[in-house]
Amino acid sequence: MALIKWTTELSVNISSIDEQHKILINMINEFYEKISEKSNNELISNLITKMKDYTILHFSVEEKLFEQYNYADFEQHKKQHDGFIKKVSDLEERFNKGEIILSFEITKFLKDWLINHIQGTDKKYTKFFIEKGIS
Ligand code: FEO
């Protein structure tokens, strides 16, 4: 069973960004599935890297729009992005060094962070971006 199900409650009403959020959600679900199945470390490590890389790409898409349109909350929003990338990079490094065992708690952290970020922070730009004609 998937850990996160995308619903309209997670929509920022900008379809290009919703599509990226759906990809991130699918990645967390896949990560959860592989951990539950106790898949081998190499596969899990590749998944963490894939998830980190896609997250960086997604954040850069939002940040480019913030810069382009002078979004007032840019700095505050970027701080959250940077903090999350740091956490995921740290997780990747520690897992690859054998220092941590991935668990449901870690998956829950990724899930909670993403949901809270979309609902509490990303949604704040909806009105602003729609007014700028972004869809
Ligand atoms: Fe969709 Fe600010 O991340």
Nearest ligand 1 atom to alpha carbon 24: 1
- Answer whether 117 contacts ligand 1 (Cβ < 6 A): yes
Locate 83 and state its tokens. Answer: 């903090």
On whether residue 5 sits in a domain, the answer given is no
Count Cβ atoms below 10 Å from residue 125 Cβ, excluding itself.
23
Helix spans in the chain (H) = 15-36, 41-69, 74-96, 104-120, 126-131
On whether residue 4 sits in a domain, the answer given is no
Angle made by CA atoms 51, 53, 59, in degrees to the nearest 5: 100
On whether residue 62 sits in a domain, the answer given is yes
- Answer whether 114 contacts ligand 1 (Cβ < 6 A): no
What pLDDT, on a 0 to 100 scale, did the predictor assign at position 86? 97
Nearest ligand 1 atom to alpha carbon 121: 2
| Whether this model's pTM surpasses 0.85 | yes
- Mean pLDDT, range 60-81, rounded to an integer: 97
User: How many domains is the chain partitioned into structurally?
Assistant: 1
On whether residue 3 sits in a domain, the answer given is no
On whether residue 93 sits in a domain, the answer given is yes
pLDDT in tens, 6-60: 999 999 999 999 999 999 999 999 999 999 898 899 999 999 999 999 999 999 9
Measured in Å, residue 43 CA sits from the centre of ligand 1 at 26
Spatial distance between the Cα atoms of 113 and 129, rounded to a whole number of angstroms = 22
On whether residue 65 sits in a domain, the answer given is yes
Question: What pLDDT band is residue 103 in, cutting at 50, 70 and 90?
Answer: confident
**Which residue's C-alpha comes closest to atom 2 of ligand 1?**
122
On whether residue 24 sits in a domain, the answer given is yes
On whether residue 6 sits in a domain, the answer given is no
Measured in Å, residue 117 CA sits from the centre of ligand 1 at 7
User: Any idea what the CATH number is for the domain that residue 73 is in?
Assistant: 1.20.120.50
Domain residue limits at 70? 13-131
3-class DSSP assignment, residue 19: helix
Locate 92 and state its tokens. Answer: 């990747």
